[in-house]
Amino acid sequence: MGCVTDPEFVLLFHGTNGDVADVIRREGVHFADLRAEAQLVGEQFGLDPDAVWARADLVGFTKAASARMTSVSFAGHPINAARYAGVAGGEARREMYQAAWLIMNDSEESGRADRWSFEQTQAERILITVRVPLPIVQAALGTEVRTDPMGFDPIETAINLRIDQEIPPDWIVGIEPVERVMDHDDVRNEYGVALSADDLPSDAPYPWEGTWWESSIRRWFSERR
């Protein structure tokens, strides 16, 4: 299992943005403050923060709200964490922006709200690597760490592994820029090709999953010119 650095610790990964990298380096990774995000976005657009919060409920953030405010989400593989990197304010702020757009436009067009919120929250992509004590990871998984019969590591394939404590700075072993992650839709939209894992093996833990580092996509097309 590549994630287990020794019998006592596991490497986990968290995607974030460059605006908070220095704070994380000094203070570690804190829980999300969703009320603060609603306040910030409400003030930015002259909206009632409570209305932003209430509309965000319908966007879907409350499904994970309590977890976000009491845990930090990690992935067991860098590419799965990198999917969530480069969002200013994180997923919580992006959902508050979606709510703001829907309110300001008196609309139910969630697709347009999502595209607009994406544009508003683009930032430098940063990947954080943390070294977490094995018992804490086992508690989050709800199982002992072992390779299952199909050969897939339950840590490496975890996408939303929630650690129910804030991460102290001395657990952090890496804070660095990370490249973009692309899926089937990204490749089709940008290159006009319906690429599959049969054409180019996935960079994700599951070989059949169409998820690649952008450098892999660029190299694949370059080699075929």
Q: Tell whether 90 and 192 lie within a shared domain.
A: no
Q: Tell me the average pLDDT across 118-125.
A: 93
pLDDT digits (tens, 9 = 90+) for 14-34: 999 998 999 999 999 999 888
pLDDT digits (tens, 9 = 90+) for 56-83: 887 776 555 667 788 999 999 999 999 9
Domain closes at, from 159, 177, 195: 177
Domains in the chain: how many in total? 2
Q: Tell whether 112 and 217 lie within a shared domain.
A: no
- The residue segments making up the domain with residue 55 are 4-177
pLDDT digits (tens, 9 = 90+) for 137-148: 888 887 655 544
Q: Tell whether 120 and 136 lie within a shared domain.
A: yes
Q: Tell whether 124 and 162 lie within a shared domain.
A: yes
pTM: 0.87
**Chain centroid offset of residue 4 CA:** 21
> Phi then psi for 183, rounded to 5 degrees?
-115, -175
Q: Tell whether 89 and 173 lie within a shared domain.
A: yes
Q: Tell whether 98 and 199 lie within a shared domain.
A: no
Q: Tell whether 117 and 212 lie within a shared domain.
A: no
Q: Tell whether 144 and 194 lie within a shared domain.
A: no
Q: Tell whether 171 and 194 lie within a shared domain.
A: no
